[in-house]
Amino acid sequence: MAVKFKKSRAQSMLDITPLIDIVFLLLIFFVVMTRFDEEDYKLDVVLPTASEAKPLISQPRELFINIDEQGNFFVRGEQYTIDEIDELLVQTAADNPESTIIIRADKDSKLEFSVQVMNACNKAKLSNYSISTASIEPTQ
């Protein structure tokens, strides 16, 4: 006597709704946790080149001071005078004496403006400052 077996195909359905929820939660997390420091780079400053330029590693307590070719000072997208820069650096030193000051001066600006910012850093007892340069692109 032959026994007949029914071949049944169980239809398996994969519910991807929880997966979509997790993807959206991760997306929201990364959008919220992203640093929005683009205002430091909004000013169109053409940096001078240096053969030994190294990329700056971002630190949490950096203050970018941008100087355009006319000698105007910008911090976080707002224009400052040198006296206001002095006050800002004193306040920055009071908040965190280990703050890093990065001076981004246009290559056509006078060196005098960068020196004014360095003097202001020294007055505020901030010794961790640097001038940002662009690296030279290798020619092929």
Say what the pTM is.
Answer: 0.59
pLDDT in tens, 43-53: 677 777 777 77
pLDDT in tens, 78-137: 999 999 999 999 998 888 888 899 999 998 999 999 999 999 999 999 989 998 888 777
Under 8 Å between Cβ of 98 and 126: no
Give the start-to-end residue ranges of the domains of the chain: 38-135
Instruction: From the options 3.30.43.10, 3.30.420.270, 1.10.10.10, 3.40.50.720, give the CATH code of 38-135.
Output: 3.30.420.270
C-alpha distances in angstroms, 62 versus 3, 15, 75, 99, 101?
80, 46, 11, 6, 6
